[in-house]
Amino acid sequence: SYELTQSSSVSVSPGQTASITCSGYKLGDKYVCWFQQKAGQSPVMVIYEDVKRPSGIPERFSGSNSGNTATLTISGTQPMDEADYFCQAWDSGSAVFGRGTKLTVL
């Protein structure tokens, strides 16, 4: 079955740029979504179709996807961005999630 691999944790200082990666076989051929989940809350979609931001999502969130790797970039990271981030793609009729990356802003 298809797998998406994420690093377990990323740390960033406030105001700096955070990059969270998601890897999968020929992932660039698929559309990737990214979800933010803060402690005790439901997931929120922050990126869809690789690069698009839903309304209400700050411009500091951006995405890219090429080859085997998709990347979520948070520019000018704020303390409120501390959360778990999950990538997701569809493969053969199944939605596949990465295991998640814990973003720490310190």
Partner 1 sequence: EVQLVESGGGSVYVGGSRRLSCVASGFTFSDYEMNWVRQAPGKGLEWVSYISRRATDVFYADSVKGRFTISRDNAQNSLSLQMNSLTAEDTAVYYCARDRLYCTTTSCNFEGMDVWGQGTTVTVS
Q: Which residues of 6-19 are buried (b: 16+ CB within 10 A; e: fewer)?
A: beeebebeeeeebe
Helices and strands (DSSP H and E) totals, the chain: 0, 10
> What residue has token string 């105001």?
15
Residue 16 or 66: which CB sits closer to partner 1? 66
- One of 2, 7, 43, 68 touching partner 1 (CB under 8 A): 43
Q: Is residue 96 a contact residue for partner 1 (CB under 8 A)? A: yes
Number of residues that bind partner 1 (CB under 8 A): 24
List contacts with partner 1 (CB under 8 A): 1, 31, 33, 35, 37, 42-45, 48-49, 54, 84, 86, 88, 90, 93-100
